[in-house]
Amino acid sequence: MDGSIKEISPVEAWEMLGSEKDSILVDVRTLDEIKTLGSADITSFNKNVVFIPWINDLTSRDVNENFLTDLKMLAPNKDAKIVFMCKAGRRSFDAAMVAVKEGYASCFNVTTGFGQGAGDSGWKSMKLACKKYV
């Protein structure tokens, strides 16, 4: 890629994560969102989701000052295909922009995000593998 962000659907993300050995899924939602809505489950590909919140909480919406440090630690291969996902595709796009500026070469944004379920076109509504948290 040329340092730009490619917009992809949840199904395209699923297919990439399954077929590209070095691909990584970075979920940038808050812990509360993950606990409430669940998360993607990519263990069938022998992978785990990397969780790095883009914002500290939904109330203040302050950007997580450790995001880039955590990304470098948890996804050190700047040539890997990195798929960013949030609830609706906006925060993940912002996170992907920061990654591109930091030199990550292949960044993808799940345009419809994880979603909330019924009626949207996010990961969860597409009936892709999910984990529930209690």
Residues 42, 63: Cα–Cα separation, whole Å: 26
Within 10 angstroms of residue 50's Cβ, the number of other Cβ atoms is 18
Helices (H), the chain: 10-19, 31-37, 67-74, 90-101
- Express as a percent the part of the chain with pLDDT over 70: 95
pLDDT digits (tens, 9 = 90+) for 13-41: 999 999 999 999 999 999 999 999 999 99
pLDDT digits (tens, 9 = 90+) for 43-58: 999 999 999 999 988 8
Q: What separation in angstroms does the CA of 114 have from each of 4, 40, 110? A: 22, 8, 8
54-67: average pLDDT: 92
97-110: average pLDDT: 97
What pLDDT, on a 0 to 100 scale, did the predictor assign at position 3? 65
What pLDDT, on a 0 to 100 scale, did the predictor assign at position 21? 95
**pTM to 2 decimals?**
0.94
- 8 Å CB contact between 17 and 115: no
100-112: average pLDDT: 97
For the chain, list the domains and their CATH numbers: 5-131 (3.40.250.10)
Lookup: tokens for 80: 């890997």
